[in-house]
Amino acid sequence: MANELRPCPCDIGDRFDYGGRGQEVQVEHIKAYVCKPPASTDRAVIVIHDIFGWQLPNTRYMADMLAANGYVAICPDFFVGQEAWKPSNDWATFDDWRKSRNAGKIDKEVDVTLKYLREQYGAKKIGVVGFCWGGAAVQHLMLKNPHLETGVSLYGVIRFFDDRYSLLHPTFFIFAEKDDHIPLEQVTLLEQKLKENCRVDYEVKIYPGQTHGFVHRKREDINPQDKPYIEEGRKDMINWLNKYL
């Protein structure tokens, strides 16, 4: 399941050598990875990838995990054919790269994915989870999309959505204590603003000693000190979905 070589020296973390149990499909104008659960269900989860795109094995591993827990899991290409970020890219160009891949402008792709899940799988209760770039996208959707039931935002970059806290749906926020991209003071401010403005259920949780991407970019077998937190983050994500879907 996992590559025994050490990961490349970049922010990707541990790249899983994982093929996936699902299949790639065409959903109108976008491609997507879909994995079905063992038994039929009317519950589904949209998985929003990070900057490394919809084909990252780590993200497919997470989609398959959701499917194993009873959900139709789908991870669309929210970059719509544009190249995902590569570890070999020059980080000095990152801001320009991100400008053409806005986590707050995925509504069209979400709408066609919702339609696909309803028509092809009979989905009636649909949630969303997202990692990093996708975590920010989850916050956007929880503020805007009335057709989703709940969301889990995993280390979504808060500064993308400053001053927007009136969530429509129950939302769980997962953060890492030692995240270089998301300072703890931003998390504290988010929690404060949610307390003042949010009228639905939410939770903000910080996992001790963890770094950005820990739930899906760290391998349990070569990070023994992190294993309990990786497993806890994944369990918390699934428990939240189970509660609201």
Quick check: is 148 in a domain? yes
Quick check: is 18 in a domain? no
pLDDT for 6 equals 34
pLDDT at 221 over 70: yes
What value does the mean pLDDT of the chain take? 91
Quick check: is 47 in a domain? yes
pLDDT in tens, 4-20: 333 333 355 666 777 78
Residue found by looking up tokens 């399941």 in the block = 1
Question: Which pTM does this prediction carry?
Answer: 0.93
Quick check: is 212 in a domain? yes
Quick check: is 94 in a domain? yes
Q: What are phi and psi of 142, to 5 degrees?
A: -70, -25
Quick check: is 17 in a domain? no
Compute the average pLDDT of residues 25-33: 98
Quick check: is 211 in a domain? yes
For residue 222, the enclosing domain spans 23-244
pLDDT in tens, 120-142: 999 999 999 999 999 999 999 99
- What proportions of the chain, in percent to the nearest 5, are helix, strand and coil? 35, 20, 45
CATH number at residue 227: 3.40.50.1820
Say how many domains are in the chain: 1
Question: Which residues, including other chains, have CB under 8 Å from residue 32's CB and lie 6 or more apart?
Answer: 24, 25, 26, 54, 74, 75, 76, 77, 113, 116
Question: Which residues, including other chains, have CB under 8 Å from residue 23's CB and lie 6 or more apart?
Answer: 33, 34, 35
pLDDT at 71 over 50: yes
Categorize the per-residue pLDDT at 218 as very low, low, confident or very high, splitting at 50, 70 and 90: confident
Quick check: is 235 in a domain? yes
The dihedral region occupied by 167, where left means phi > 0, alpha psi between -120 and 50, and beta the remainder, is: beta
Find residue 27's DSSP bridge partners.
30
Active site positions, annotated: 132, 179, 212
